[in-house]
Amino acid sequence: MILTIQHLDASKGTHVSTIRIYPAIDVTQLQFTSSNPDKIQQKLLEVGVRFEQWEATAELSPGASQKEVIAAYQSDIDRLMTAQGYQTVDVISLNADNPKKDELREKFLSEHTHGEDEVRFFVAGQGLFSLHIGDQVFEVLCQTGDLIGVPANTPHWFDMGPNPDFIAIRLFNNPEGWVAHYTGSDIAARFNRLEN
């Protein structure tokens, strides 16, 4: 049974960050779940994944240009690049009107790795990161303000949903930026999807 993920905090009318951990061979056997940011951070730190919650206060709408997004968050970007040695920054900013949304969703949905760390800071909307680490899959529903750092060579995939509505700033150690090495595994097809 594959779930469609959409976690809403009814008391606030907002989406909340969530982690779900499964054995890599069985999506029906949920091992752990939490929407507590400290527990999400702890579980991910145990497997070497960075998770932080930052302020994302700039008034930007999904579909905003890369130039607009970088200008709004230049001080955060500069701080990350200086502290962590990242060389490249780009922005993925998509809304449901994007004519390439289906093509882009498929591109990110296949399990892949990068030869360098990938940091993604969500400044609007949400996305579902799934990390295949050892014999487990860590699904992290990231929301506005979440920063996730995926270590180099970690198999993962990302679902923006059928109607994307998010902006994420991505930072890389590689001057070429986002370069995927697809694993050829069909594991991503067996796990949960984001429906928004």
Percent of the chain with pLDDT over 70: 89
User: By the 8 A CB rule, do 95 and 126 touch?
Assistant: no
pLDDT tens across 22-60, in order? Answer: 999 999 999 999 999 999 999 999 999 999 998 888 989
DSSP per-residue letters across 144-192: TTEEEEEPTT--EEEE--SS--EEEEEEESSTT----EE----GGGGS-
The per-residue pLDDT for 178 is 65
Domain boundaries, the chain: 49-126+141-185
144-162 b/e (C-beta count within 10 Å ≥ 16 → b): bbbbbbbbeebbbbbbbbe
pLDDT in tens, 132-153: 999 999 999 999 999 999 999 9
Options 2.40.10.340, 2.60.120.10, 1.20.1560.10, 2.40.128.20; CATH for 49-126+141-185 is 2.60.120.10
- pTM greater than 0.85 (yes/no): yes
Q: pLDDT-based confidence at 125, cuts 50/70/90?
A: very high
